[in-house]
Amino acid sequence: MRDTLTMAMAMIDLQRRRPGPRADELLERLQSSLAIEPPVPWNETGHARIPLGRERDDAREHLAELLNALGDDWSDHIAIL
């Protein structure tokens, strides 16, 4: 089995840690910064699959950097899977 921490990925799953307006705002602003159209909503289980447009070796780190720029509280609301 390959190590997914170093595997190039073009899609990343996010999980909403707690429902609420802040999680919704962070997801919306993240997708805006990635120019994702149409935006991907949280599904019924609180997950959202984010397309990155191309494979990246640093996909999780890239999303963490973008979320960190949106607020240092992001990890209270969203988990990168």
pLDDT tens digit at each of 81 positions of the chain: 445 556 689 999 999 999 999 999 999 999 999 999 999 999 999 999 999 989 999 999 999 999 999 999 999 999 999
Which structural domain, as residue segments, surrounds residue 60?
Answer: 9-80
> What domain count does the chain have?
1
What does the pLDDT read at residue 8?
82
4 domain-assigned: no
Beta-carbon contacts of 34 under 8 Å, excluding residues fewer than 6 positions away, are 50, 52, 53, 66
Judge whether 68 lies within some domain: yes
Residue 33 lies in a domain: yes
Query: In what helix (H) or strand (E) does residue 27 lie, and over which residues does it extend?
Result: helix 21-33
In a domain, 1, yes or no: no
Residue 79 forms beta bridges with which residues?
15
Rounded CA gap, 30 and 34, in Å?
Answer: 6
**Per-residue confidence (pLDDT) for residue 25, from 0 to 100:** 98
Q: What is the DSSP letter of 46?
A: S
The answer to whether residue 2 sits within a structural domain is no
Burial label for 78, CB within 10 Å (0-12, 13-18, 19+), is buried
